[in-house]
Amino acid sequence: MIPLPTGVRVWLATGYTDMRKGFPSLALQVQEILHRDPLSGHLFCFRGRRGNLLKVIWHDGQGACLFTKRLERGCFLWPSPADGVVTISSAQLGYLLSGTSSASTIRGVGTR
């Protein structure tokens, strides 16, 4: 995993997202739904309907980054849409990206 600078937050877009979207469309979703600045340097994560595809957008100060991960088996553990805007720690992001599907890895997810 790419080391994250100190103070970077990880935001999850609850529910599912159309995975055909690229950085510009996902950045617009960050602005309109999460009410955050997609160029702030924070990470914003989106999950597809089937749950096995995850996209992360991040602006590193030099340019826009779009990371994609598809699980061969299983699906990413994800909060329900009723949870609202959700943040997780960088350690929890590591568990999420590893495909660990234990509820205890995302325990303590913060809603804002």
pLDDT digits (tens, 9 = 90+) for 49-99: 999 999 999 998 899 999 999 999 888 888 887 777 899 998 899 888 887
What is the pTM assigned to this prediction? Answer: 0.85
Give the CA count within 13 Å in the CB-facing half-sphere of 44: 29
Q: How many domains does the chain have?
A: 1
Owning domain of residue 66? 10-111
> Residue 71: helix, strand or coil by DSSP?
coil
Report yes or no on 79 lying in a domain: yes
Report yes or no on 3 lying in a domain: no
Tokens of 6: 């100190």
Report yes or no on 2 lying in a domain: no
* pLDDT: which is higher, 53 or 1: 53
Report yes or no on 15 lying in a domain: yes
